[in-house]
Chain A
Amino acid sequence: MRLSLEGDPEAFTGLVRRHQAEVARWMWRFTRDREDHVELVQEAFIGAFTSLGTYRGRGPFCRWLRAIAVRTGYAFWRRRDRQRAEPREDIAHLLDGQAQEDSPEAVVTAAEAVHETLAQLRPRDRLVLTLMYLEEHSVAEVADLTGWSETMVKVQAWRAKRKLRKLLAP
């Protein structure tokens, strides 16, 4: 860790190996495209390396890395927002017939439906709902990860849920 913080690339590569499975899980929330996923995971680590000077060692490294990953994913959505497809009119029907089963196929289908539904929202709304619904983060944790105030997270969550309700209305 000390060598990584001093900017030693080989030491940092060791950190990458240790944390890449977790970062891969986080970044999978931001895209379902395999190529984009690989790129996002790399970007998260590159962002972490260039920001190592800001890590003060006050909390776990993993929590600091998580915040970097979330901001990397959010920036990705904001870049892609300009290319966002026209909203689907049948989005509410994505939920129809989705059984809450435990089979791996059902889990993947559920994840695709949830991802596609959230993709209809603007990046800010999508981020707060992803962190709260898919990662089960509290308001305080979302604030910590995004750098927003807790008040802003609450307001954003309320607005995002309202938009989601409207989106899902038959």
Chain B
Amino acid sequence: MTRLEDFEKLAAVARREPAPALDVAAAVGQRLPLLERTRPDALPWVAALACVSAAAVLGYLGLQAWTALTDPSLGSALSMTAWWLL
């Protein structure tokens, strides 16, 4: 018999060990009011939308600044396009 098989047989015996009895209901009950329950999935979506919107606005402002410094006529066309996309 291999050592691994010895271990597996021992694990089969160990499986039967009962756990110590506990009563944690009162302790858990005391901790619950201090917690905030996570909301259902709305929050991650709201956060993602806020990030995308912020990135879009910053991108638009960056584009405005860049084109104002380089080619104002090009800037005007690009700005119109970006504004339309936003």
Contact B20 A13 (CB under 8 A): no
| Chain A min CB distance to B28 (Å) | 5
B36-52 vs A, CB cutoff 8 Å, 1 = contact: the mask equals: 11111100000000000
Contact A10 B29 (CB under 8 A): yes
Contact A170 B29 (CB under 8 A): no
Contact A95 B23 (CB under 8 A): no
B7-38 vs A, CB cutoff 8 Å, 1 = contact: the mask equals: 11111111111111111111111011101111
Q: When chains A and B are docked, how far (Å) is the Cα of A106 from the Cα of B10?
A: 10
Instruction: Indicate the size class of the contact surface on chain B.
Output: 35 or more
> Which of A38, A95, A101, A107 is the one whose CB lies under 8 Å from B7?
A95
Cβ of A72 within 8 Å of any chain B Cβ, yes or no, is no
Query: Which one of B2, B28, B32, B35 has the highest number of Cβ atoms from chain A below 10 Å of its Cβ?
Result: B28
| Chain A min CB distance to B6 (Å) | 5
Chain B residues proximal to chain A, CB less than 8 Å: 2-4, 6-29, 31-33, 35-41
Which 5 A-B pairs give the minimum distances between C-beta atoms? A28-B19, A168-B3, A111-B14, A9-B32, A110-B13
Chain A residues proximal to chain B, CB less than 8 Å: 7, 9-10, 12-13, 16-17, 20-21, 24-25, 27-28, 34, 37-38, 41-42, 45-46, 49-54, 92, 95, 98, 100-102, 106-108, 110-111, 113-115, 117, 133-136, 161, 164-165, 168-170
26 contacts between A and B (CB under 8 A): A10-B29, A12-B29, A20-B25, A24-B20, A24-B22, A24-B24, A28-B17, A38-B27, A42-B24, A42-B28, A46-B28, A50-B37, A52-B37, A53-B37, A95-B7, A98-B6, A102-B13, A107-B13, A107-B14, A108-B17, A110-B11, A110-B13, A110-B17, A114-B14, A168-B6, A169-B3
